Structure 1
């Protein structure tokens, strides 16, 4: 099955229109679209690789923002402070669990993609070999 993307890095009417609109609305958007049209085919990373790359680039920012958002000062009510601390620990444990599940799902989708690619390659090789075995070899 041949799949084509609606927005691919090529000089199509859609990408040209988006580039022009980008320049009209806010010129850096037009530049980004122009760069995508010219160099977008070199950005052939999978979705999981993009997520991991973004996590490496912005992970420390997220952690710092989360720590800055935590209130450090005591309210003066020991029971409330204890409850708040236990809830924050519970939420953090749930966040870690969700991060692990996301990573597991990314690994799963990567394995599915690899299996599909392997199947398509094997099918290609079978068809190629079947086509060459029936005729004369060309040198």
Structure 2
């Protein structure tokens, strides 16, 4: 017996499309829409409200600072950066600039890591010095 994989793929895609459309519709309306959907979910069928609460926490929609459009709009705008414009000279310049910025970001993150390590080391050394001084100050009984 042979199964049709196209049927499974199309139903899976339509479900995914429905979910993505609903998610983007709620994102466009902001955090209040997500909270309202969660409350309505709790009122009519509590597992739906619980699932929405879990999804909001997992996707960081619950604690985001912005009131509109969560990470999806940011993701779309970053994807637009890599889309070719049709102008070869500009695309080459843009690719070069993006590569340079990514390298600078990596270098800066490395610098911050070294800075944190140096701060941790100096704090630890100060603690050890203070501890050694306390032991020296205590008289033997």
TM-score bin (small chain): 0.3 to 0.5
Normalising by structure 1, we get a TM-score of 0.44
Task: State the structure with more CA Rg.
Answer: 2
